[in-house]
C-alpha cells in the first residue's frame, strides 16, 4: 500500500502545479483544538551525580540548557533547551563529630555520595562552623550555568537526610530498607536543613527554588544502608506528613512562604496514589504539587493519579524518568503514555550523563569519562526543542502523538511516532478555526529509534486543505511545526 502511495505521490509531483495529491494516509489522527491538557511548564533534569562530576563544563551546559548547536565529540548536538533543574541536597560528609562519623555501605558508588552542607548537630545557625557552604561546588556550578542559560524553574530535593539525622548514621538507608531511617527527634532538623539551603540560595546563589521536596521514593523498600549504592531513605506516609508540616513551618519562618512543597517523588504511579491517600488532609494541604517518577514504565494507574491531583487542585510533574534503553524506544513509549494518561505539566529526566544506556550521553561518573550522545538524546530533542514552556497541551487524538499550541506565535507542534511498518501518518486539522495556510510548508524533523536519522530537518511537507501527512519509517519519531494556525 505504501508503494502505491509513493507512486501516486510521484505522479502527483511529476504533474507539478496540479493540486497536491489528496491524502492517502494509512492512519489519521484528528487533533482536538478545543482540548486543554494544561500549560506546559517545561522539561528538565536532576543534577545530582552527573553534575557533581561534570558540573564545571560549559559545553554540557550549552547542550542541555540552550537550543543552540554545540559540537561535542565530533557530533553536532542540537541543544535540548531544558528549563527545569532539580538540585540534590547532599546527605554525606566525611567529618567526625563527638566521636561519630558517617556509616558507609561497602557497595557505595563514590560518585553517588553527594556532599551535604550541615556537618553536625552543634548548631542550626547557617553561619556557624556546623555548616560548610563550599562543598558540592561542581553540582552548584551546573545550577548556575543552567540559570545563566535561561533555566527558570528550580527544585531542591533530598535523597536522604544528613547522615547524622539517620538512625544508623547511613545515608544509603535503614538497615532493612523498609523502615524509617530518620530519627524521630530529627523530623524538624531535616526540615531545617532543606529550608536553610533554600534560604541560603535565595540570599546568596542568585535565584529562588520554586519548590522543595524533602523525600525521594520514600515508599520504596530498597534503600538499604548496609548494601546501598546511593543515598536513599524510606519514609512511612505518617512520617512524611510530619516532615511536610515541619518544612512548611521552617520555610515560612525564613520568609519563603511562596516556596512550594512538592511530594513525594514516589517511584511508581500506584505508590503515588497510595501515598496521596495516606498523607492526610493537613499535610496534603501543604503540598502544592505532586511529583512522581516514571519507574513503573508501561504499568500503573497514571490516570488515577492525574484525577487525584487535579481534583485537589494540585500540579502534577513527572519529576524523574530513566531506563537503560539507549535506542529511545522506551523513552518515547512511556512519554506518550504520560502525555495521554498522567497529563503532567513538566517532564524531567533523571541522569543525562550515565552509563549502560541510562544517560542520553554515555558517561562514567566515577572514571570521569564522557562518551557520545546516543539515539535517545535525539529522540528526547524531538520533544524538548519544540514543545516549549507556556504552550497549551492539546489532545492529539491518538496514542501515538502529542500536540502543543503556542497561542502568541499561532504555532502548532506535533510529535508522533510510527510503531507499525512504514506508512503515512495523516494529521487532520479540521477542528481548528484556521487550519494553517493551504499549501504552506510544515517543517519537520525526524529521528529513527535505534539507529539512523538523528533530528534530520526537512521542508517537504505541505498543508493540503485542512490536513497534512508525512511518511514515517517503522519506529520513526517526527516533529512538525504548523504555522499560522488558530484554535
Residues labelled catalytic: 217, 320
End-to-end CA separation in angstroms for the chain: 33
The alpha-carbon radius of gyration of the chain (Å, integer) is: 24
All cell numbers assigned to 160: 536522604
Answer yes or no: are the C-beta atoms of 118 and 162 closer than 8 Å.
yes
- Cβ neighbourhood burial of 110 (10 Å; 0-12, 13-18, 19+): exposed
Coil, strand or helix at 14: helix
Estimate to the nearest angstrom the gap between the alpha carbon of 472 and the chain centroid: 27
- Sign (positive or negative) of CA dihedral 381, 330, 398, 320: negative
Answer yes or no: are the C-beta atoms of 366 and 111 closer than 8 Å.
yes
Q: Please report, for residues 38, 85, 88, 208, 248, the alpha-carbon distance to residue 258 in angstroms, rounded to integers and kept in the order given.
A: 22, 18, 20, 10, 10
Torsion, Cα 115 120 123 126, to 10 degrees, reads: -10
Torsion, Cα 178 341 261 64, to 10 degrees, reads: 100
Coil, strand or helix at 398: coil
Of 186, 197, 171, nearest to 101 by C-alpha is 171
Coil, strand or helix at 183: coil
All cell numbers assigned to 76: 553536532
Distance CA 162, CA 180 (A): 14
- Cβ neighbourhood burial of 241 (10 Å; 0-12, 13-18, 19+): buried
Amino acid at each position: 500500500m505504501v508503494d502505491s502511495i509513493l507512486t501516486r505521490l510521484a505522479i502527483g509531483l511529476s504533474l507539478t502545479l496540479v493540486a497536491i495529491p489528496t491524502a492517502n494516509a494509512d492512519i489519521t489522527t484528528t487533533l482536538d483544538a478545543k482540548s486543554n491538557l494544561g500549560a506546559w511548564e517545561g522539561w528538565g533534569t536532576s543534577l545530582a551525580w552527573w553534575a557533581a562530576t561534570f558540573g564545571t563544563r560549559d559545553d554540557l551546559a550549552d547542550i542541555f540548557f540552550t537550543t543552540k548547536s554545540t559540537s561535542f565529540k565530533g557530533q553536532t548536538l542540537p541543544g535540548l533547551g531544558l528549563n527545569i533543574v532539580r538540585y540534590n541536597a547532599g546527605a554525606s560528609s566525611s567529618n567526625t563529630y563527638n566521636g561519630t562519623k558517617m556509616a558507609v555501605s561497602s557497595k557505595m558508588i563514590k560518585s553517588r555520595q553527594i556532599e551535604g552542607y550541615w556537618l553536625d548537630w552543634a548548631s542550626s545557625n547557617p553561619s556557624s562552623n556546623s555548616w560548610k557552604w563550599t562543598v558540592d561546588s561542581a553540582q552548584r556550578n551546573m545550577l548556575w550555568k543552567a540559570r545563566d542559560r535561561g533555566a527558570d524553574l528550580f527544585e531542591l530535593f533530598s535523597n536522604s537526610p544528613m547522615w547524622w539525622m539517620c538512625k544508623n548514621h547511613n545515608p544509603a538507608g535503614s538497615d532493612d530498607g523498609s523502615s524509617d531511617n530518620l530519627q524521630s527527634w530529627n523530623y524538624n532538623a531535616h526540615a531545617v536543613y532543606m529550608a536553610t539551603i533554600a534560604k541560603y540560595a535565595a540570599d546568596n546563589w542568585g535565584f529562588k527554588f520554586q519548590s522543595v521536596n524533602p523525600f525521594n521514593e520514600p515508599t520504596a523498600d530498597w534503600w538499604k544502608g548496609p548494601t546501598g549504592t546511593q543515598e536513599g531513605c524510606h519514609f512511612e506516609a505518617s512520617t512524611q506528613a510530619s516532615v511536610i508540616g515541619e518544612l512548611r513551618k521552617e520555610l515560612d519562618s525564613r520568609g519563603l512562604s511562596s516556596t512550594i512543597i512538592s511530594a513525594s517523588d514516589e517511584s511508581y504511579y500506584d505508590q503515588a496514589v497510595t501515598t496521596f491517600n495516606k498523607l492526610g488532609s493537613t499535610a496534603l494541604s501543604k503540598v502544592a504539587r505532586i511529583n512522581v517518577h516514571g519507574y513503573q514504565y508501561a504499568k500503573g494507574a497514571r490516570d488515577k493519579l492525574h484525577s487525584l491531583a487535579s481534583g485537589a487542585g494540585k500540579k502534577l510533574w513527572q519529576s524523574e524518568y530513566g531506563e537503560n534503553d539507549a535506542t529511545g524506544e522506551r523513552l518515547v513509549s512511556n512519554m506518550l503514555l504520560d502525555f495521554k494518561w498522567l497529563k503532567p505539566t513538566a517532564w524531567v529526566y533523571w541522569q543525562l550523563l550515565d552509563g549502560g544506556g541510562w544517560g542520553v550521553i554515555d558517561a562514567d561518573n566515577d572514571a570521569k569519562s564522557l562518551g557520545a550522545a546516543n539515539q535517545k538524546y535525539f529522540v528526547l530533542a524531538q520533544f524538548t526543542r519544540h514543545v516549549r514552556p507556556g504552550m497549551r497541551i492539546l489532545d492529539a487524538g491518538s496514542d501515538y502523538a502529542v500536540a502543543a499550541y503556542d497561542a502568541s506565535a499561532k504555532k502548532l507542534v506535533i510529535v508522533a511516532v510510527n510503531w507499525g511498518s512504514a506508512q503515512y501518518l495523516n494529521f487532520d486539522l479540521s477542528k481548528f478555526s484556521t487550519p494553517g495556510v493551504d499549501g504552506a510548508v510544515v517543517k519537520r524533523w525526524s529521528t529513527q529509534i535505534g539507529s539512523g536519522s538523528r533530528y534530520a530537518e526537512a521542508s517537504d511537507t505541505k498543508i493540503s486543505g485542512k490536513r497534512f501527512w508525512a511518511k514515517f519509517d517503522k519506529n520513526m519519531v517526527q516533529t512538525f511545526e504548523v504555522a499560522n494556525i488558530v484554535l
